[in-house]
Structure 1
Amino acid sequence: MNNDHVIKQSVQHKKNDNREKGKNGSLSWWQLSLMGIGSIIGAGFFLGTSLSIKTAGPAILIDYLIGGMAAFFVFCALAEMTVRDPAPGSFRTFAKKAFGNSMGFASGWMYWLAGVLIMSSEVVALATFTRFWFPHIPLWIFTIIYSVIAFGINLLGVKNFGKIESTFALVKLTTLIVFVVFGLLLVTHVISPHAVSLSTKNVFHTFFPTGIKGMWAALIFVFFSFGGIEMIGIAAPELKNRSEVPKAGISMLIALVSVYILSIFFALSMVSWTHINASKSPFVSALMTFNIPYIDSIFNIIIISAAFSTMVGALFSVTNIIISLAEDGDAPRLFAEKNKKGTPIKALLLTGAALAAFLIFSFILPGTIYEYITTAAGVMLILNWTIILSSQIKLRSHREKDQKFNMPGYPITSYLGIALIFTAVSGGLLRGTQRMGVFISLGLIVVIFISYWVIFRGRHIVTPHKLREE
């Protein structure tokens, strides 16, 4: 491919980007906010919170405050860049403008790989939860069914996808709010528990039972609970009014932090943290003390809806990222193509093929190995936050302060966010499974950078200096 042809393609892609920026989207800010919630609250929170509680005890509440603060800093950095330039590709485009082609390449492929791995773990969880009612049906049948439905939803277009994700988000939020209200009525003795002696002293007695070390080790699980906030930036070009990105994200984070902390607080008020089983949802453990009929089935349905909407949201995000990578020459250009309805069939097929491969691995590999890999996916997702914050710091230094939206407390909050992320990831080194996940994630990141230098570096003709000028 000669340079003239490459230049012509680059100019054409720039024109396409500019047209995309000027196009009115179909989503309102509250739909985008709910889409973000739908992508973030997954089975990991409803089920995996038990492990973090067993690791940190009641001090997990402080971890969620720290996690919420870090997520807020990351979102504000992303919102500042997105409001000024709602470019397709979101954070990876900003990373490219800030640090050059290699960082944009690495950020995009880190997110795509992590997203596909998380999707594979979610669909396996979906199949496992569904077998609760149908134990004789093979697991692989349910994985195929859920995968086909998820891809079908993404084929419906952004507007219909937004409606479906918003519905799932409302189900999850409503569940947690009902749980919080139930806990509040119990604590205030509006309704009286018959089976247990309820007191908030269960929460505050020995608040740091495993010490600072336990709280530090659990922090990475908490950060995983906020994974997916990048969805706001990726879907921002679909907003009717793109200046409402901050409103959508801040509303989303307020709702998330509130229901996370309050629901865990009341769960610990209903049952001592020492009685929580790491293999069972802490909310089920809390409610089972009241002998509520069919509580396992009820929460099974809720966890299925949580896992499924997270999977659908991840599919939307990674598909858009692969399109952005292809448009910039960081992936084969055929994956940027869309049909007459605007559906990226080839990008979806690539993601589907990768998902199928990882699902096969999940059945072949030993459980511990697959757990290492899925943990690595979560670590890569969190490490990508440092790229977002670093990009915001670099790009802010090259422009005047924007009046539309600015990172509160810049630059202190930007650097503090990076410090909190590294604190959480380093805490993962304290436990065997998480330690292996951290090492694998670092290894995968090295492979991604090597792939760029070996395969894709020669395809780029635009220098980082020119990108920053644009």
Structure 2
Amino acid sequence: MDNEQTVKQTVRHKKAENREQGQTSGLAWWQLSLIGIGSIIGAGFFLGTSLSIKTAGPAILIDYLFAGITAFFVFSALAEMTVMDPVTGSFRTYAKKAFGNSIGFISGWMYWLAGVLIISSEAVALATFTQFWFPHIPLWIFTVIYIVIAFGINLLGVKNFGKIESIFAIVKLSTLIIFIIFGALLLTHVISPHSVSLNEKSVFKHFVPTGIKGMWSALIFVFFSFGGIEVIGIASSELKNKKDVPKAGIGMLIALVSVYILSIYFALYMVTWNKIDESQSPFVTALASFNLPYMDSIFNIIIISAAFSTMVGALFSVTNILISLAEDGAAPKSLATKNHRGIAVRSLYLTGFAVAASLIFSFILPGKLYEYITTAAGVMLILNWTIILSSQIKLRPNYKQNGATFKMAGFPFTSYMGIAFILVAVSGAMLHATQRMGVLISLGLIIIIGFTYQIIFRSKHIPQKN
């Protein structure tokens, strides 16, 4: 009996020690990296890259490097705050600590609203891709099926969610890596198909065919390819060791930038940039001349897995942000209540109702208008990056006295540079009609969120937590 008591005390002390060191029984750092990759590489990259290439030509490679550097600055700022001050709510909690309740409110609801719109747009995309095989089945049926499955995965709990997202991330990464290897074998003439005329003059012959204006206007599309890196901060609360956040994020970004740039380079090596069709994946266009069997169906499956995992990851992120808002009194308190599996079912259901409403609008609104709204969702995600960087600039002095385990390199220059890069990308969107409307709508939605805060909390006070 004494031995049993001793064991129990030892276990309790070990758990307490782990909590003090930031350790939990949650995710490993590589799982968090894969969750980030799964949440970021979506159908937008596999399909939307065609529009980016048509806009900027081969110079899109520079845009991806530019966006990758910016994403690294944003992640570094978020990682520093997460390691130095691990809190639930991630970036919106840091915004609140840095600038007060109103900015924390705006940041959180911006992210939640953008996430809801992205989830609904991914669901519609998934249904559209699935109709490739079943053209006579109504679109809404596939949409409902994918939404139900995504909610089911999130109801399984964080461990099962992490495993499933990791599998999807591996599928997407493996696909791009296989494509890169295939391109490398062509480049080194290990494979020399006689029936295919490769871009032997090199991708770099006419590197900037549309000029600086083309590169600038395409930049916002490229930034969208990195949208969702905030999930690293949000899901970091589930890490076994909070000090592994930098490792997880750096691993994720190195993988993303590498596969993005290399895969696009080899696509441009296989086919001239001006022959890429905006309505088709550049990778399908690049491989089409090789007459590979079942290529359309294979890539359709890959795009479906990409869109689905992005949707599942976004659902996880926005639900957790809603929990944080509820805990701070910026949303109904009941939304923070969790079941025995640690899932805030009410937050998940509320998000589900919002997604359902968004889907209804997607079917009844004119296509162009809904396109503007979904573009605005992406712009809001990118604009939220400026809040992350600004929060880190404001909060950094509070961390100086602590024994830092991770600090953003080059501070404050890299923080300000990141904000400048984001503003350059967003301003470039004003050169394109659809993107311009997306920017204006996003600014309008942010103003509405700000007014909502003033109306609801004019006579109330959200407690400031430190």
Instruction: Judge same fold: TM > 0.5, yes or no.
Output: yes
C-alpha separation in 1, matches of 2:156 and 2:320: 15
Are 1:240 and 2:240 counterparts?
Answer: yes
C-alpha separation in 1, matches of 2:226 and 2:288: 27
Where does residue 7 of structure 1 map in the other structure?
none
Deviates more, 1:70-79 or 1:342-351: 342-351
Where does residue 189 of structure 1 map in the other structure?
189
| Pairs within 5 Å for 1:258-407 | 258-400=258-400, 402-407=403-408
SS of the aligned residue for 1:249 comes to helix
SS of the aligned residue for 2:398 comes to coil
Where does residue 6 of structure 1 map in the other structure?
none
- Structure 1 residue 205, shift from structure 2 partner: 1.6
The amino acid of 2:334's aligned partner reads: L
> Gaps (5+ residues) in structure 1?
1-18
Cα deviation, 1:395-417, whole Å, max 9, x if unaligned, reads 00333165200001111000000
Are 1:65 and 2:57 counterparts?
Answer: no
| Pairs within 5 Å for 1:148-297 | 148-297=148-297
C-alpha separation in 2, matches of 1:283 and 1:124: 22
C-alpha separation in 1, matches of 2:169 and 2:284: 20
SS of the aligned residue for 1:290 comes to coil
Cα deviation, 1:21-73, whole Å, max 9, x if unaligned, reads 96614100000000000000000000000000000000000000000000000
- Structure 1 residue 196, shift from structure 2 partner: 1.8
SS of the aligned residue for 1:203 comes to coil
Q: Is the 8 A contact 1:329 1:459 kept in 2?
A: no
Q: Which runs of 4+ in 1 moved over 6 A?
A: none
Q: Cα–Cα, structure 1 residues 255 and 461, in superposed 2: closer, same or farther, change >3 Å? A: closer
SS of the aligned residue for 1:458 comes to coil
The amino acid of 1:201's aligned partner reads: K
Where does residue 8 of structure 1 map in the other structure?
none
Q: Is the 8 A contact 2:34 2:166 kept in 1?
A: yes
Where does residue 80 of structure 1 map in the other structure?
80
Where does residue 441 of structure 1 map in the other structure?
442
C-alpha separation in 1, matches of 2:238 and 2:201: 47
- Structure 1 residue 336, shift from structure 2 partner: 0.8
C-alpha separation in 2, matches of 1:117 and 1:194: 46
Q: Is the 8 A contact 1:202 1:272 kept in 2?
A: no
- Structure 1 residue 202, shift from structure 2 partner: 4.3
Q: Is the 8 A contact 2:234 2:320 kept in 1?
A: yes
Where does residue 107 of structure 1 map in the other structure?
107
Where does residue 90 of structure 1 map in the other structure?
90
C-alpha separation in 1, matches of 2:145 and 2:278: 28
Cα deviation, 1:165-215, whole Å, max 9, x if unaligned, reads 000000000000000000000011001122222235241121111000000
Where does residue 49 of structure 1 map in the other structure?
49
C-alpha separation in 2, matches of 1:345 and 1:201: 57
C-alpha separation in 1, matches of 2:238 and 2:329: 23
- Structure 1 residue 103, shift from structure 2 partner: 0.4
| Pairs within 5 Å for 1:393-432 | 393-400=393-400, 402-432=403-433
Cα deviation, 1:324-358, whole Å, max 9, x if unaligned, reads 00010101111111122222110011000000000
Cα deviation, 1:81-124, whole Å, max 9, x if unaligned, reads 00011211000000000000000000000000000100011000
Q: Is the 8 A contact 1:187 1:198 kept in 2?
A: no
Q: Please give the TM-score of this superposition, normalised by the length of structure 1.
A: 0.93
Where does residue 460 of structure 2 map in the other structure?
459
The amino acid of 2:47's aligned partner reads: L
RMSD: 1.5
Q: Kindly, what percent of the aligned residue pairs are identical?
A: 75
Q: Is the 8 A contact 2:77 2:392 kept in 1?
A: yes
Where does residue 13 of structure 1 map in the other structure?
none
Q: Cα–Cα, structure 1 residues 20 and 462, in superposed 2: closer, same or farther, change >3 Å? A: farther
Q: Is the 8 A contact 2:23 2:239 kept in 1?
A: no
Q: Please give the TM-score of this superposition, normalised by the length of structure 2.
A: 0.94
C-alpha separation in 2, matches of 1:309 and 1:399: 35
Cα deviation, 1:126-160, whole Å, max 9, x if unaligned, reads 00000000000000000000000000000000000
Where does residue 118 of structure 2 map in the other structure?
118
The amino acid of 2:451's aligned partner reads: I
C-alpha separation in 2, matches of 1:411 and 1:450: 31
